[in-house]
Structure formats: structure tokens, C-alpha cells
Amino acid sequence: MEMTPAPLLRLIVVADLKIARVKGAWDEFDQFLKRQAEVQIVAVDLGSGLDFASLRADLVVVLGGDGAILRACRQMGANQLPILGVNLGRLGFLADVSPTEFREQFARIQSHAYHVVQHLMFECVVTRGDGSSQSFLGLNEAVVSSGAALRMIDVRLAINGEPVTTYSGDGLIVSTPVGSTAHSLSSGGPILRQDLAAFVITPICPHTLTNRPLVDSADCTFTLTAPDAPEGTTLVIDGQIKLPLAAADRIDIRRAPVMFQTAKLPGSSYYATLHRKLGWGGQPNYGTRL
């Protein structure tokens, strides 16, 4: 019986050539892909800010670390495509395939032998005291930080309009499950399975020890205000977008209308990744430093 050929694999490649190690990896990667007959390169973004609005592809291959993936999924906006991260950074939870593993597994990738997992993203709306507003898409977390203020701040939390509590300390983190292994974890927050539909609220160095991390449904709207915010108070989204906050500003965080999509190769396991990356069997594996 005649075998049906595998469909053409359509790829978009994202690599920021301003980073020397990424540039070196791209040179090798480019040559490798040119030797693959059943691959169509739909587009390549080498740091110019590709417009994903009308692009269609099977995979977006991102060279770099988790930060590169955070930028890429935000860049996609409403057109979220499955991402396969090739880790050139240090502690990559999202970019968990090494360049060697990518080449070794490429026959499986080319035959579409991977599955796509969808993860919660958030929409962060900042409403200023004058009524103007801005909306941002995020994957990991939104952080209200005392930052350059160098003093304790009070952050009020309301959920679905109901006042919950005021956190006094260095700030407050609202994180997705994907972001639970990032800033939230370093501040004492819990690790959430990445496929949960929930947010975790983690105080940063709380002045009151009874203020502990809180987990609630992703169907809620989380409202943050800092009515006594000193100069230097900052909203940080995914560690990459930084906005100054004033006392009259309001932040609303809710489930985004799109989902982050990640491609998982056969044999991949979330707990195996935690075991490897967090050093639960020994020392943390920080990989290669950029």
C-alpha cells in the first residue's frame, strides 16, 4: 500500500541576533534547516519585530531562553501559534529543548509527532487617574513593586470587586500557573501545574506574616490599587514592560481571550522538567549562560 507523505512542516523562526550566542546558534540552525527538504520557512524574525497578525504556521521555533518566548507570545497578540523553545539561556522552563535535542528529535518534529498544550495568559488593564487606559497581554506575571521607591508600599487587592486585603511590603505578584515558577516562586509562592485555570497572588516580603500566597480561579478579575504609592512604584509585566504607577491608578488583571500554545515532544513531562530544572535530584541545572 502506498504511504501518504507527511504534510509539509511550516515554521516561523524567531531569534534575536543582538545577542551573540543567539547569533551563533542561528547560523548553525539556518544551515540545518536548509538541508531539510520537507520544511517550509514561512518567516524569520531576527529581532525586527515581525507582524504575526496574518501568518499561519505549524510551529514558531524560538531560539533563546524563557525571556525570548515571553516576548514572542506577546508579539503574536491575538494570533497565538504553537511555540517550540530551543534553550540557549540558563534556567528555561518554557524553552526546554536544547539545540542538540532539536536536531536529534527533528524527524519527529517534521512528521508532526508532537502535541500542543494550551496555557492561561492574562490581560492587564491599567486605568490612570485621568480615565485613560492601556491594555497589555502577558504570560508570566504582573508585579506591583516598590522598586526605586525603596520603601514599603500598601497594595489593596479586590477580587470581582470585593475587597480582600491590603498587602504591606515590597510589592505584590499576580501570576499564572506558567509564571508560578518565576518571580512568584522566588518570593515563596506555590508551584502550580501549568494547565490549571488559576492565578496565584504572592506578596513580596510582606510586613504581616499572616499575608500568605492566595490561589483563585482564572475566571475572576483581580484589581490592584496603591492609594499611597510613593514615587518610584512600578508595574512590571513579564519582567519586560515597566510602567510607573501613581496613587490614583488602578490595575485590573483577568484571563486573556487567547491562550499560550506550547509544543511538547514525545516523552516530555512537567514533573520531569521540575525535577531537572530545580535540582530536586541534586543540584539545579542552570544550563549555558547567555
DSSP bridge partners of 242: 236
DSSP bridge partners of 137: 123
Residue 252 is a catalytic residue: no
> Whole-angstrom Cα distance, residue 66 to residue 202?
21
**Is residue 190 packed enough to be buried (19+ CB in 10 Å), middle (13-18) or exposed (0-12)?**
middle
Are 95 and 64 contacting, i.e. CB atoms less than 8 angstroms apart?
A: yes
Are 61 and 26 contacting, i.e. CB atoms less than 8 angstroms apart?
A: no
Catalytic residue among 66, 96, 170, 238: 66
Write out the catalytic residue numbers: 66
